[in-house]
Amino acid sequence: MKRLTPILPLLAVLLFAGAPASAQEHWQERIFMEYYVETPGDTVYVDTLPPAVVFPRIRNTKDPDVKKYYRLVYNFSKVYPYTDVAVRIVRKADRDLAAMRRRRDKEKYVNAVSDQLLDDFSSVARHMTVSQGKLLVRLVDREVGKTPYSIVKEYKSGAAASFWQGVAKIFGQDLKTHYDPKGEDRMTEYLIEKWNQGQFEALYFSIFMEWPDAVEIPSKYR
């Protein structure tokens, strides 16, 4: 099976936000070029261009390691924008649940949030592959320090966590494993570094000869 249906309950840790600045704010923040006037009156404009980053493209795409790396770059472009969203949802849930004393109130809250997010992100989940779902939950663990298993156990129950762990095993996953930046996830950590440096798009282009697609986020969460 190609699609990762078991990832649906874990999509309660998704979201990505960022509203664009208004036209007026954009104008106020605009920075004009510097210039100086040379004799006999010529005006010379001066600016500093950002460095152009060039990544060599590996030509031997039949190499299993190269194919695995290219697949990771592609999947990373699809799921990493959701990571910040996931962190916000998990942390908000932690704050809200900490303020509740009654177990019934906590259960109602978790069910309501889960149902709403599953409804909002169901289309995302349907188009997410097994590899992309696995990468997403590992990225969530990197940011919040919680494995998918512990998230489900904490917000739902131990029985629910065990159930989804069993389902995940069918798809070759282990919801109990932590993100390992120096081991299994070393290359993912490299891509995060390039993302934070603003170089990921150039890296992606060097491989696929096209820019990565923009990730669609439900409008209500923007």
**CB within 8 A of 103, min separation 6: which ones?**
none
Res. 192 pLDDT band, cuts 50 70 90: very high
Using alpha carbons, select from 136, 94, 127 the residue that is nearest to residue 113: 94
Res. 196 pLDDT band, cuts 50 70 90: very high
Task: Identify the three-state secondary structure at position 176.
Answer: coil
What pLDDT, on a 0 to 100 scale, did the predictor assign at position 77? 95
Using alpha carbons, select from 172, 198, 214, 189 the residue that is nearest to residue 72: 189
How confident is the model over 75-93, as a mean pLDDT?
Answer: 85
Question: pLDDT tens digits for 139-155?
Answer: 888 988 888 788 778 77
Would residue 98 count as lying in a domain?
yes
Question: pLDDT tens digits for 104-130?
Answer: 888 888 888 878 777 877 777 778 887
Would residue 72 count as lying in a domain?
yes
What pLDDT, on a 0 to 100 scale, did the predictor assign at position 28? 47
How confident is the model over 50-76, as a mean pLDDT?
Answer: 77
User: Per-residue b/e over 57-73, b at no fewer than 16 CB within 10 Å?
Assistant: eeeeeeeeeeeebbebb
Full residue range of the structural domain in which residue 143 is found: 63-211
Would residue 3 count as lying in a domain?
no
Would residue 97 count as lying in a domain?
yes
Would residue 103 count as lying in a domain?
yes
Would residue 90 count as lying in a domain?
yes
Would residue 217 count as lying in a domain?
no
Question: Which secondary-structure segment (H or E) carries 43?
Answer: strand 42-46
How confident is the model over 82-107, as a mean pLDDT?
Answer: 84
Would residue 200 count as lying in a domain?
yes
Our count of domains for the chain comes to 1
The pLDDT > 70 percentage for the chain reads 73
What pLDDT, on a 0 to 100 scale, did the predictor assign at position 3? 45
**CB within 8 A of 39, min separation 6: which ones?**
none
Residue 3's DSSP bridge partners are 129
